[in-house]
Amino acid sequence: MDKTPVVSMKRSVRKTRSIVRYPRQTRRWNEYILAAMFLAPSILLFGIFLFYPLIKSVYLSLHSTTPRGDVAKFVGFKNFTNLFTSDTFLSSLWVTTQFMLFTVPTTLILALILAAFCRSRIRGSRIFRFIFALPLAISVSTGSVIWMVLFHPTLGTLNYFLSIAGLPTINWLTDPNWALISISIMTIWMNLGFLFILLLGGMEGVPEDIYESARMDGANPTRTFVQLTLPLISPTIFFASVTSMIGSFQAFGQINILTKGGPMNSTNVIVYNLYQDAFMNFRFGTGSAQALVLFAMILILTLIQFKFGEKKVHYQ
């Protein structure tokens, strides 16, 4: 640190010279070229793998396609009208909504409580932190396979616990009334780690002296949490709820592995329906139309959240 001024004194002579050598105009152009170079890789990749596909999706959604993926003929909005009159698609929208309602609030509340416990540096909180963050290391597929064992109707751990408690056992994945709940339980477990880390980070960002003064005033922990922590980390909560809602709309892996959309389409969420249409039945036109509906849903959700969330959010 001490050295910097000396060096800069010495070098400043050179700087004056360089200004003389390069007129301002040239320097500005150099900066543009540099910016273009620095941005080129990202722009190129976004162009090919994000913006072009977005337009192509719109194009495909207005056409019927051959199983090879070539455009057969222009059909206008027929793909969309077909979708919204199809019972399967409408039920998949409803299943997706239910799935979101089952998973997002629960995960958020659980993660908040766990993060609040871990923020106060009580003995052993480091170990608890690690445990609560563990599901972060779980992928959809490993998680699903593990839960397949837990959900097993006759040998599974969950039904064993139920029978110990004297309750009737449940066909977790094959009962149409339970399958979506089972998928939700697994998803809550899987997503808890990420939200926990996110919210804990938010809570640790609150300066310690704010808590200190609350403690001095004799506020009890519950009140501190409700009246102080929650409002202060509301930006984080806001962000967490938006991302997990969007995430819940995109659930696919656990359904593909555990239930394949069944039984009786009770877990047929929108992305699974899309996957089946596009990559099992090779109907890329309908598939693209569904993708765009999903996009619109996510977009609307984000906008609503920003519009109404903004008011309640406390920015420091």
Q: Give the footprint of another protein on residues 256-315 (CB under 8 A).
A: 256-257, 271, 274-275, 278-279, 284, 287-288, 291-292, 294-295, 298-299, 302
Measure Cα distances from 314 to 68, 250, 266, 309, 311 in Å.
52, 29, 39, 10, 8
The distance in angstroms from the start CA to the end CA of the chain is 32
Cβ pair 188, 254 in contact under 8 A: no
SS3 label, residue 71:
strand
Residues 6+ apart with CB under 8 A from 15: none
Tokens of 120: 């106060």
Give the residue with the Cβ less far from another protein, 196 or 265.
Answer: 196
Instruction: List the one residue from 66, 139, 213, 227 that touches another protein (CB under 8 A).
Output: 139
Residues 49-88 that bind another protein (CB under 8 A): 49-50, 52-54, 56-57, 60, 69
Give the residue with the Cβ less far from another protein, 253 or 262.
Answer: 253
Residues 28-47 that bind another protein (CB under 8 A): 28, 31-32, 34-39, 41-42, 44-46
Q: CB burial class (10 A; 0-12, 13-18, 19+) of residue 247?
A: middle
Residues 225-254 that bind another protein (CB under 8 A): 235-236, 239, 246, 249-250, 252-253
Instruction: List the one residue from 140, 173, 232, 245 that touches another protein (CB under 8 A).
Output: 140
We find the least distance from the C-beta atom of residue 76 to another protein, in angstroms, to be 19
We find the least distance from the C-beta atom of residue 160 to another protein, in angstroms, to be 5
Among the listed ranges 93-101, 134-142, 168-176, 206-214, the one in contact with another protein (CB under 8 A) is: 134-142
Instruction: List the one residue from 67, 204, 215, 264 that touches another protein (CB under 8 A).
Output: 204
Cβ pair 286, 277 in contact under 8 A: yes
* Neighbouring C-beta atoms of residue 226, cutoff 10 Å: 11
d(CA 121, CA 105): 26
Among the listed ranges 27-35, 73-81, 83-91, 175-183, the one in contact with another protein (CB under 8 A) is: 27-35
- Count of residues in contact with another protein, rule CB under 8 A: 102
SS3 label, residue 64:
strand
| DSSP assignment letter at 137 | G
Instruction: List the one residue from 90, 101, 109, 134 that touches another protein (CB under 8 A).
Output: 134
